[in-house]
Amino acid sequence: MADEDPTPRDPVTKHPQPEFPQQDQSPPGWTGPMDPPPDHGEDSYRGSGLLEGRKTLLTGGDSGIGRAVALAFAREGADVMFTHLPEEEEEAAETTRLVTEAGRKAVPVSCDIREEEQCRLLVEGAVAEFGRIDILVNNAAYQMSQPDGIQDITTEQFDRVMRTNIYGMFWLSKMALPHIPKGGSIINSASVQAYKPSPHLLDYATTKGAIVTFTQGLAQMLASDDIRVNAVAPGPVWTPLIPATLPDTANFGKQAPLGRPAQPAEMAPAYVFLASSRASYITAEIVNATGGTPLP
């Protein structure tokens, strides 16, 4: 779970710092045009067998944090079924390549987790493919900035954010549980927004607060079943969601104490740790990876 180069490096200068070129994309965003290109750990992540033989179901694995998690899990020995939207086939193909090159099975699934029936079919597909689900990672999310306030958040947008970020996580957790063996793990993607909400991301931040509560409540519910539930709360991370949903990409991440956004590769080790037996006594925990922003 280490970089190829073990030499300590300055966390401020390890990855690109703002200002970045201003860039705008249509949702859901694409990795290819991003400048600087995101780092998913392609050249740095080295596994050590922490997840050998595990079977993983991951949402939103086509790009960003999801791609970095899929790559890291594969290099740690896990097979990965991951979701993507129909328009993200090209992105999904790259994640598939990375997982396959690591010697593990990659199963991309076009799925809209806003629909309960699609979630049910997804879980059934994972069980048919793998026989069980050792690790469920609820990572898929949607946001859209509305700098002019709550009046500009339409019911359509609010519904999309809620159904993607909350309903999908709820349905998949509920449906996957009968197929998660003792020692299994659920990991949810929360956010710094859960604790320090940005006004222009009001609906998104609301869902991330709910994810924290859901994680901690479900963890207590499942502790006696030997299933752990945790979350990772990233700060600003350089993913395709940023140029697709935020108006200012030039200064993105500059507000973090480390002065830059994280790269997706910097988030993946937290998910690996929480999924591994090294975290056997850790449940109901939120791992904050915020670049120095203090959280409760």
Alpha carbon distance 98, 104 (integer Å): 9
Alpha carbon distance 87, 71 (integer Å): 21
Residue with tokens 């990855």: 15
3-state secondary structure 100-138: HHCCCCEEEEECCCCCHHHHHHHHHHHHHHHCCCCEEEE
The residue type of 35 is: D
- Asked whether the CA dihedral 98, 100, 103, 109 is positive or negative, the reply is positive
Cα of 141 vs its chain's centroid, Å: 8
Of 142, 204, 271, 281, the active-site residue reads 204
Check if 271 is active-site: no
Q: Judge whether 289 and 235 are in contact, CB under 8 Å.
A: yes
| Residues forming the active site | 204
